[in-house]
Amino acid sequence: MIYTVTFNPSLDYVVHMKKFAAGAINRAEKETIYPGGKGINVALVLGNLHIPARMLGFMAGFTGQEIERLCEENGGDCDFIRLDKGYSRINMKISAEEETAVNGMGPVIPKDKLKQLMKQIEALDEGDTLVLAGSIPSTLPGDMYEQILKRMEFRHIRTVVDATGDLLRNVIAYRPFLIKPNQDELGELFSVVLHRDEEIIMCAKRLQTMGARNVLVSLGGDGALLLGEDGKIYRRPSPQGRLVNSVGAGDSMVAGFLAGFEASGGSLEEALKWGIAAGSATAFQDWLAGEKEIKKLYKTL
Ligand SMILES: Nc1ncnc2c1ncn2[C@@H]1O[C@H](COP(=O)(O)OP(=O)(O)O)[C@@H](O)[C@H]1O
Ligand SMILES: O=P(O)(O)OC[C@H]1O[C@](O)(COP(=O)(O)O)[C@@H](O)[C@@H]1O
């Protein structure tokens, strides 16, 4: 079974407009609300691919209620913990000539609720997969993911971490099965701006030396680079298509990768292909891609 943890779920309020001007009143031409947060998106896309995935995390207030309702409406298997105070955040996504996002902070998570989550995680069985994805509310300690991976060590649980900065850096020594920084996030870890494949490979190799087993670097419209634990480097471009909304593309890629790895009996080449197909299929439509769109793109790779 795959479990995804979203510490900081969101309602993604996506507005489309031709031009966006900072410091002015902008009018939306189209607006939609989706359930969001990285672990939630990973689980929804896995569900679309008929792979059971249970969503863990915290929900608060009317926004939390709506996120959970939307998850369930979209087939999600939810086991969220309800907080008594505060609101789950609303993340504003502006899709214009460029994409702009304002991600909220999220509610305070009290100690007893955190303990409850730890209990849920402790109950995972050997062979399960644990996906820790997205940011954590600022009131939680920055070593949150590290604390969890420390508990998972030696338990034969496959761990996946999609996070940035210290949250990611601190888990690498615990040998996560997969990490998926994008090009900018990888550069930020080493305080550099990355341009060429050789530079990306050099940084990704350093993360492998530090402990990460498979390092998947997503490159937006340029595809992705995978440094596999088999010592090979896999590189694939993205399929051609019209970008509609890339929110959730990275999460879809993680889901596609896990689905492809499972279905192929552990082929990293196949995992990467399914990851790219799922990521790009999501980028080419309003929201997370379904099985049909993902399979259609996979066949073109
Ligand atoms: N403009 C695009 N055209 C085609 N595919 C895209 C585009 N943007 C994203 N994707 C697909 O989604 C994957 C993840 O996107 P990326 O933007 O790198 O991740 P993140 O959302 O985590 O920043 C890419 O590797 C690619 O397969
Ligand atoms: O937890 P963070 O880093 O603030 O990110 C949350 C946001 O990322 C998303 O999960 C999308 O992530 P990706 O575009 O990287 O796949 C949104 O649904 C959500 O608003």
Tens of pLDDT, residue by residue over 222-278, are: 999 999 999 999 999 999 999 999 999 999 999 999 999 999 999 999 999 999 999
What letter represents residue 297's amino acid? L
Do residues 6 and 39 lie in contact, with contact meaning Cβ atoms separated by under 8 Å?
yes
- 36 CA distance to ligand 1 centroid (A)? 17
Structure ipTM over 0.95, yes or no: yes
Q: Specify if 249 maps to a domain.
A: yes
Probe ligand 1: pick from 41, 184, 197, 238, max atoms within 8 Å of CB?
238
Confidence of residue 102 (pLDDT cuts 50, 70, 90): very high
Q: Specify if 133 maps to a domain.
A: yes
Domains in the chain, number: 1
Q: Specify if 221 maps to a domain.
A: yes
Probe ligand 2: pick from 6, 91, 217, 244, max atoms within 8 Å of CB?
91
Ligand 2 shell residues, CB under 6 Å: 8, 10, 12, 36-38, 41, 91, 103, 134-135, 247-251
Closest ligand to residue 14's CA: 2
Task: Take atom 13 of ligand 2 and give the residue whose Cα is closest.
Answer: 248
Measured on CA atoms in the order 235, 214, 48, 96, is the torsion positive or negative?
A: negative
Tens of pLDDT, residue by residue over 211-220, are: 999 999 999 9
Range of the domain at 216: 2-7+38-57+77-85+107-299
- Which residues does the annotation mark as catalytic? 251
Confidence of residue 139 (pLDDT cuts 50, 70, 90): confident
Closest CA to 13 of 138, 116, 130, 103: 103
Q: Specify if 46 maps to a domain.
A: yes
Closest CA to 196 of 207, 205, 183: 183
DSSP 201-246: HHHHHHHHHHT-SEEEEE-GGG-EEEE-TTS-EEEEPPPP---S--
Residue 122 pLDDT: 95
Q: Specify if 139 maps to a domain.
A: yes
Q: Specify if 99 maps to a domain.
A: no
Overall average pLDDT of the 198-208 stretch:
97
DSSP 3-state percent helix, strand, coil across the chain (nearest 5): 40, 25, 40
Contacts for 209 with CB less than 8 Å, ≥ 6 apart: none
CATH number, domain containing residue 232: 3.40.1190.20
Do residues 233 and 261 lie in contact, with contact meaning Cβ atoms separated by under 8 Å?
no
Closest CA to 238 of 256, 218, 215: 218
- Is 90 exceeded by the pLDDT of residue 198? yes
- 159 CA distance to ligand 2 centroid (A)? 19
Task: Take atom 2 of ligand 1 and give the residue whose Cα is closest.
Answer: 221
- 244 CA distance to ligand 1 centroid (A)? 11
Q: Percentage of the chain with pLDDT > 90? A: 97
Confidence of residue 123 (pLDDT cuts 50, 70, 90): very high
- 139 CA distance to ligand 2 centroid (A)? 19
Overall average pLDDT of the 281-301 stretch:
97
Q: Specify if 70 maps to a domain.
A: no
**CA of 253, closest atom in ligand 2:** 16
- Is 90 exceeded by the pLDDT of residue 16? yes
Higher pLDDT: 138 or 28? It is: 28
Residue found under tokens 């309020």: 13
- Is 90 exceeded by the pLDDT of residue 110? yes
Confidence of residue 154 (pLDDT cuts 50, 70, 90): confident
Tens of pLDDT, residue by residue over 47-87, are: 999 999 999 999 999 999 999 999 999 999 999 999 999 99
Residue 121 pLDDT: 97
Confidence of residue 153 (pLDDT cuts 50, 70, 90): confident
Task: Take atom 18 of ligand 2 and give the residue whose Cα is closest.
Answer: 36
Residue 281 pLDDT: 98
Contacts for 85 with CB less than 8 Å, ≥ 6 apart: 60, 107, 108
- Is 90 exceeded by the pLDDT of residue 138? no
Q: Specify if 251 maps to a domain.
A: yes
Residue 93 pLDDT: 95
**CA of 247, closest atom in ligand 2:** 14
Ligand 1 shell residues, CB under 6 Å: 182, 218-221, 223-224, 238, 241, 243, 246, 249-250, 253, 276, 279-280, 283
Task: Enter the tokens of residue 265.
Answer: 């009996």
